[in-house]
């Protein structure tokens, strides 16, 4: 038995050694760094690293925005930060509760982790099942990962770290509890998953596309100079917001028309995707998921109109 256990340990070492996120922070503004994830889906070859995570080096210390998909990622993130600065991490801000953004919290248990009240509630209610599902998708990258809840409830307003005044916005379109962060010093807007760019948006917990569209209008009105989407490349122009508005409007109209015509779900998921969205990664995959998530509500709304 002892030799069998030793053989299993030795056999697994090369596999575990390959689980390296190889995070490379990129400077995108003054003292502001980005770790850009893939725009693909969760997979064993990316370890769930499909998310944009950022950090700001302020005078008193480092502010981290989201912690990534696993304990291993969170630990790699702290190592990456240490290669950039010797200042301590003093704050984590979570944009929302989805696993790719919040399951690296274990690596920051010694730091205040702040989130909107709704984010903490959702992570408490759904965190374990989200982590289990991610383990099924990416395997050993998730080993040892446990849900760590935020200990600080954030309020909308300004939170100051040295010369960086961070404007915290409480929005709802993606999950019902979505934090966007505007650094007033640099103009960098960390939009979280309210903004996907060149990657189709996900809708499993959205309270509605109209709510999301209103959030996009709010973000558009901010004095940003650079947009960091939750997924996809950064931009110095409004193209990410324009693409989101266009896509959300198209998807909403598609679902409304289908409900009015009495279309069934299998028919709807085969709907043609406009050519202008051809470059958006995972468009068909996410359309199928969005129809599954959202269409029943459109059908119920249509039935209520017919039978008030």
Task: List the chain pLDDT tens, one digit each, 308 residues.
Answer: 444 434 444 444 444 458 999 999 999 999 999 999 999 999 999 999 999 999 999 999 999 999 999 999 999 999 999 999 999 999 999 999 999 999 999 999 999 999 999 999 999 999 999 999 999 999 999 999 999 999 999 999 999 999 999 999 999 999 999 999 999 999 999 999 999 999 999 999 999 999 999 999 999 999 999 999 999 999 999 999 999 999 999 999 999 999 999 999 999 999 999 999 988 999 999 999 999 999 999 999 987 765 55
Q: Domain of residue 87: give its range.
A: 16-238
214 in any annotated domain: yes
308 in any annotated domain: no
Q: What domain count does the chain have? A: 1
295 in any annotated domain: no
150 in any annotated domain: yes
Q: What is the CATH number of the domain that holds 129?
A: 3.60.15.10
209 in any annotated domain: yes
d(CA 277, CA 197): 11
301 in any annotated domain: no
d(CA 93, CA 206): 21
* Crossing angle between the packed helical segments 209-220 and 239-261, to the nearest 10 degrees: 160
192 in any annotated domain: yes
Question: Is 281 exposed, middle or buried (CB count within 10 Å of its CB: 0-12, 13-18, 19+)?
Answer: middle
d(CA 219, CA 194): 9
268 in any annotated domain: no
């Amino acid at each position: 038995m002892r030799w069998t256990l030793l053989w299993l340990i030795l056999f697994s070492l090369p596999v575990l050694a390959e689980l390296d996120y190889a995070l490379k922070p990129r400077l995108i503004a003054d003292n502001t760094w980005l770790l850009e994830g893939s725009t693909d889906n969760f997979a064993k070859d990316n370890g769930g690293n499909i998310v944009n995570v950022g950090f700001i080096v302020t005078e008193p210390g480092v502010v981290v925005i989201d912690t990534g998909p696993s304990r291993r990622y969170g630990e790699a993130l702290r190592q990456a930060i240490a290669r950039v600065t010797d200042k301590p991490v003093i704050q984590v801000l979570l944009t929302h509760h989805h696993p790719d953004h919040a399951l690296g919290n274990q690596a920051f248990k010694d730091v205040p982790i702040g989130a909107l009240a709704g984010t903490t509630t959702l992570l408490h209610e759904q965190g374990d099942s989200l982590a289990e599902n991610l383990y099924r998708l990416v395997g050993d990258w998730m080993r040892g990962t446990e849900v760590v809840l935020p200990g600080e409830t954030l309020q909308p307003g300004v939170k100051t770290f040295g010369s960086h005044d961070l404007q915290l916005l409480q929005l709802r379109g993606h999950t019902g509890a979505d934090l966007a962060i505007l650094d007033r010093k640099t103009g960098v807007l960390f939009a979280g998953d309210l903004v996907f760019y060149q990657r189709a948006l996900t809708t499993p917990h959205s309270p509605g596309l109209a709510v999301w569209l209103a959030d996009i209008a709010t973000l558009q009105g901010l004095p940003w100079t650079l947009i960091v989407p939750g997924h996809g490349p950064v931009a110095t122009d409004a193209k990410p917001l324009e693409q989101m508005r266009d896509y959300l409007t198209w998807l909403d109209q598609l679902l409304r028309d289908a409900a009015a015509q009495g279309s069934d779900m299998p028919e709807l998921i085969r709907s043609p995707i406009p050519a202008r969205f051809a470059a958006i990664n995972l468009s068909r995959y996410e359309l199928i998921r969005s129809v599954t998530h959202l269409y029943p509500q459109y059908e119920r709304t249509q039935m209520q109109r017919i039978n008030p």
